[in-house]
Every structure is written in structure tokens, then in C-alpha cells.
Amino acid sequence: MNLQVEVVRVFTDPDGRFGNPLGIVDGRLVGESDRQRVAAELGYSETVYVDDAATGTLRIYSATGEMSFAGHPTVGAAAWLHNHGHPVDTLHVPAGPIPVTRSGDLYAVRADTTWGSSWEWHQLATPADVLAADPTTYDAGHTFLWSWQDEPAGIVRARAFAPAMNVEEDEATGSAVTQLTAQLRRDLLVIQGTGSHLHTTWQPPTHATVGGRVLPEAPRTLPR
């Protein structure tokens, strides 16, 4: 029996371009011992297993292991659940409960900014410097490059490299931008990767929201 995998793009721009793909799998169909292998086979930065759609109970896996929280998987899962008849107002992941909000076509989650991976931060002088970075020079850990694109408006240009998770470049990194929001103590629009849009709000002292647009992609089938 083949495994059906739903796919969405999370944090697209207003025209529906860009965004980070996310695999969504019915958790009842894949045991815990197989989840990391399936996530690695799919090849996305993260894959979500929906263990209980009605309550929004999820598990998140990268190619290298389980994650207690991640931004783009929770935003993507919230949108997917809403569009499949489960408009939950809270997601449940190992890190804790994640409140969900929706405003127009933007879905957002609220998280503790201490959650997520630890990043090495580099503020560069210009967006051009960010875009000129060579991902192959980052061969370990998690590195986040950013520059102000419009500081008065709170617009940031960014890229993220995560070889520690077998991801040369992560297109849109929700937990990282919540951490950046906490560092800068202000709401942001982060344009990351090829052009994905991530919207954040700072909620002191320790929380932020991250949100964006989510669009469906063609599903995939994995042989089993």
C-alpha cells in the first residue's frame, strides 16, 4: 500500500510565489520508528505527522530527527487543517500548545521565542550582501544572514543555512524569525530565501507570532 502525502507551500508572497514546501502525513499510517526515514525520503526541510486532526495534535520531523517545534510546519499544518474541516485554534506539539490565528489569507502561530534551533546570527550591510552569500561555505550548524531592506518599515532580507539538518538552504524559517523578532523587539516582514514572506509580531517578554500565506501543491505518493 502506497503512502499518500499532502503538500503545501508555506509563506508564499502575495502573488502565490515562493514558499517552503511541507509534507503532511496522516500519523496513523506511519509508526514512530519510520517517521524520520519517511521525512528524509520526502526531502523537505520538515514533514508533519497529524496524529489527531480534530485536536491539532502534531509531530514534526526533519531528515535528521524529531523537532519539538518549528514555525513553517505549524503554520502550514494550521492552514491545512482549516481547509480540511478542522479549524483548530490551538495546535499541540511536543514543545507545548501553539495558539493559532487567521486574518484574511494569513495564518499565524504564537510561540515562545526560546523554542526552535539555535542559530548563528550575522547582520550584513545590505540585501545584496545577503543575496550574494554562497550556501556551500556553510557546512555546519545553523546560520542566519540578514540585512535591513527597509528599517523604518521593519522589512528584513534574509537567508538561512542549516547543514546540521541536511538542509543546505532553508527557504523560510519560522522559528528563526521569531527569535530575530525578539532580538529586535519589533514586528517584522522577513523576506527570506528566493522571496518567501514571513510576518511576525513581537509579544513581550518571551513570545512572538509568525504567519503567512499557505497554498496547496500536488500531493505525492511514496511506495511502501
When pLDDT is cut at 50, 70 and 90, the band that residue 1 belongs to is confident
At 166 the pLDDT is 85
At 142 the pLDDT is 93
Q: Which of 189, 192, 103 is nearest to 145 (CA)?
A: 192
At 33 the pLDDT is 93
Radius of gyration of the chain (CA): 16
Q: pLDDT tens, 142-153?
A: 999 999 999 999
Q: pLDDT tens, 145-188?
A: 999 999 999 999 999 999 888 889 999 999 999 999 999 999 99
The conformation of residue 2, written as its DSSP 8-state character, comes to: P
At 3 the pLDDT is 95
Q: pLDDT tens, 112-156?
A: 999 988 999 999 999 999 999 999 999 888 999 999 999 999 999
User: Do 3-111+212-222 and 120-207 show the same overall fold?
Assistant: yes
> In whole angstroms, what is the distance from residue 180 CA to residue 172 CA?
13
When pLDDT is cut at 50, 70 and 90, the band that residue 28 belongs to is very high
Taking the CA atoms of residue 57, residue 204, residue 108 and residue 46 in that order, the dihedral angle to the nearest 10 degrees is -60
> In whole angstroms, what is the distance from residue 81 CA to residue 168 CA?
29
pLDDT at 108 over 90: yes
At 164 the pLDDT is 84
What class does CATH assign to 3-111+212-222?
Answer: alpha beta
Q: Strand pairing of 155-162 and 143-150?
A: antiparallel
pLDDT averaged over the chain?
Answer: 96
Alpha helices in the chain (DSSP H): 32-42, 71-83, 127-132, 174-184
pLDDT above 90 as % of the chain: 93
Stated pTM of the model: 0.95
Q: Where exactly are the structural domains of the chain?
A: 3-111+212-222, 120-207
Topology of domain 120-207 in CATH is Diaminopimelate Epimerase; Chain A, domain 1 (3.10.310)
